[in-house]
Structure formats: structure tokens, C-alpha cells
């Protein structure tokens, strides 16, 4: 039993971590698309699920299409809104209410759904 | 005579302004797809062919995105409101017309993106 974490396993784990670290931001977040779907319907779809939605004054433009978008990008965007690095009042408010798991789930939902809708 | 000329000018100016406002609200951006294609080489290095196949998971798909959203993002990168080391640098080199051309080019590319869900 003690040999469970044998040297080769430990080494390959270290290599994997090392590889991931070398590619630092390029990580596809693991998330639960089913849980994310429930969150997304409640939080996101009021704007992102309505065709023709625009951002609020003063900068008015179409809210982006996110169905089918890359999960890594959606996750990074949500984190940036929550931290304030990315500046949009509406998205900051919504992202602040999301946990890290929520963000991963929502990202997985939009990426996996491919925007086909249900 | 002078006054009526001024009035005519004012009416023309007002109608031009009204047209411009209408165009903007209809989100038809005055960009050129072909010009955008020729300016997109730098973008494609990361965002992939037609902006539809990014080389890393944290880079967005641009193909099929709303053109006014792409334009706004580029303007925010140029102004520094939106921060990204790579994009701030690229956007700084773009003029407004370049951004419009890129926006309509990417919007016109085949895409997996959907606006509903």
C-alpha cells in the first residue's frame, strides 16, 4: 500500500504539473455543465439569452455571444469581472455573486452547450 | 440670404447627425470585410483561422461575434479600460477604421457562437 505513490507515478505527476505550470494560464477549467446550466438560466440568460440585448448606458453595444465560446475564456472573463480587473458594472455585480465553482460550471455549460439551446 | 443659407446648412448637418445616430443604433458598423481580412494577420496568430480556432483555451473565439462588441473591446483595449498585456499593445496600433474593418471581418466568419443560450 505504501507503494501506491511509487516513484514513476510521482514523477509523472510532477511532469504534468510542470507542464501545466509552463503553460500557466492555458488551462481549461473543469466544471459541471449541468449545474452551470441552472446557474446560467438564473443569472446570465436575462441578457445573454435574449437576442438583441445591449449593454447599459454610457457605452452601448451588443452583449457578446457566449454560447459555444471557449470555457477557459469565459472562466477568465468572470474572474476578471469579479476582481475588478475587467470593468463593467453589470458584470461585476453578477460575477461577484458567483463562487469559483459557479464560474467553472457556467463556463462549462456555455462551452459544451455550443449555443444550440434547449 | 445669409441667414437662410445658414438654416439650410443647419438642416443638412442635423439630418447627417440623425442618420449617423440611426446607423450606430442599428449597429451597422461602417467597416470593410476585405480590408479587415488584410489587417487580421496579427489576430489570427492567436485567435486562429477566421478567429474561430484560438490556440489556447483562454483566448476567445471572435468569428461570428457581434461586430459592435468586437469594436467596443478593441476601443477599450486601446484606451486601457480593458487590460490585457497583448491586446493593449495590438490595439494601440489600430485606428478607428482598422477596428471597424476587423470587427465586420470577424463577425462575418463561420462560427460556433450563438447569442441565445
C-beta of residue A53 within 8 angstroms of C-beta of residue B96: no
Picking from B57, B64, B117, the nearest residue to A71 by CB comes out as B57
Residue B19 pLDDT > 50:
no
Picking from B69, B81, B112, the nearest residue to A62 by CB comes out as B69
pLDDT given for residue A50 in this prediction? 86
Q: What does the alpha-carbon distance between residue B70 and residue B73 come to, in Å, rounded to a whole number?
A: 5
| Helices of type H across A44-99 | 45-48, 71-83, 89-96
Average pLDDT over residues B78-107: 97
Nearest C-alpha neighbor of A28 from the set A97, A96, A110: A110
Residue B82 φ/ψ region, left for φ over 0, alpha for ψ in the -120 to 50 degree band, beta for the rest: beta
Average pLDDT over residues A96-118: 83
The percentage of residues in chain A with a pLDDT greater than 70, rounded to a whole number, is 72
Nearest C-alpha neighbor of B67 from the set B41, B22, B34, B32: B32
Average pLDDT over residues B51-69: 96
Q: What does the alpha-carbon distance between residue B79 and residue B91 come to, in Å, rounded to a whole number?
A: 9
pLDDT digits 0-9 by tens, A63-83: 999 999 999 999 999 999 999
The percentage of residues in chain A with a pLDDT greater than 90, rounded to a whole number, is 47
Residue B16 pLDDT > 50:
no
Q: A51 or B41, which is more confident?
A: B41
Residue B25 pLDDT > 50:
no
Cβ neighbours of residue B96 under 8 Å, at least 6 residues apart? B75
Model ipTM value: 0.74
Q: Any bridge partners for residue A54, and if so which? A: A62
pLDDT given for residue A7 in this prediction? 46
Residue B10 pLDDT > 70:
no
- Nearest-neighbour CA in chain A from B104: distance (Å): 14
Nearest residue in chain A measured CA to CA from B112: A68
Cell triple for residue A63?
Answer: 452583449
Number of alpha carbons in the 13 Å side-chain half-sphere of residue B67: 24
Looking at every residue in chain A, the average pLDDT score rounds to 79
Q: What does the alpha-carbon distance between residue B106 and residue B116 come to, in Å, rounded to a whole number?
A: 19
Amino acid at each position: 500500500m505504501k507503494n501506491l505513490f511509487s516513484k514513476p507515478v510521482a514523477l509523472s505527476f510532477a511532469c504534468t504539473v510542470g507542464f501545466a505550470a509552463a503553460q500557466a494560464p492555458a488551462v481549461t477549467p473543469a466544471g459541471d455543465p449541468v449545474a452551470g446550466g441552472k446557474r446560467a438560466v438564473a443569472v446570465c440568460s436575462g441578457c445573454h439569452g435574449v437576442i438583441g440585448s445591449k449593454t447599459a448606458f454610457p457605452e452601448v453595444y451588443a452583449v457578446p455571444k457566449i454560447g459555444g465560446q471557449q470555457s477557459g475564456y469565459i472562466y477568465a472573463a468572470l474572474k476578471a469581472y469579479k476582481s475588478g480587473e475587467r470593468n463593467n458594472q453589470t458584470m461585476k455585480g453578477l460575477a461577484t455573486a458567483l463562487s469559483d465553482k459557479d464560474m467553472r460550471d457556467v463556463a462549462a455549460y456555455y462551452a459544451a452547450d455550443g449555443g444550440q439551446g434547449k | 440670404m445669409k441667414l437662410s443659407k445658414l438654416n439650410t446648412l443647419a438642416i443638412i448637418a442635423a439630418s447627417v447627425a440623425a442618420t449617423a445616430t440611426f446607423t450606430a443604433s442599428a449597429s451597422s458598423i461602417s467597416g470593410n470585410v476585405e480590408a479587415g481580412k488584410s489587417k487580421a494577420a496579427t489576430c489570427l496568430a492567436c485567435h486562429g483561422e477566421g478567429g474561430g480556432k484560438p490556440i489556447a483555451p483562454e483566448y476567445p473565439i471572435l468569428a461570428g461575434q457581434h461586430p459592435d462588441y468586437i469594436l467596443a473591446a478593441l476601443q477599450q483595449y486601446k484606451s486601457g479600460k480593458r487590460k490585457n498585456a497583448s491586446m493593449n499593445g495590438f490595439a494601440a496600433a489600430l485606428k478607428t477604421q482598422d477596428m471597424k474593418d476587423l470587427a465586420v471581418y470577424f463577425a462575418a466568419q463561420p462560427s460556433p457562437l450563438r447569442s441565445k443560450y
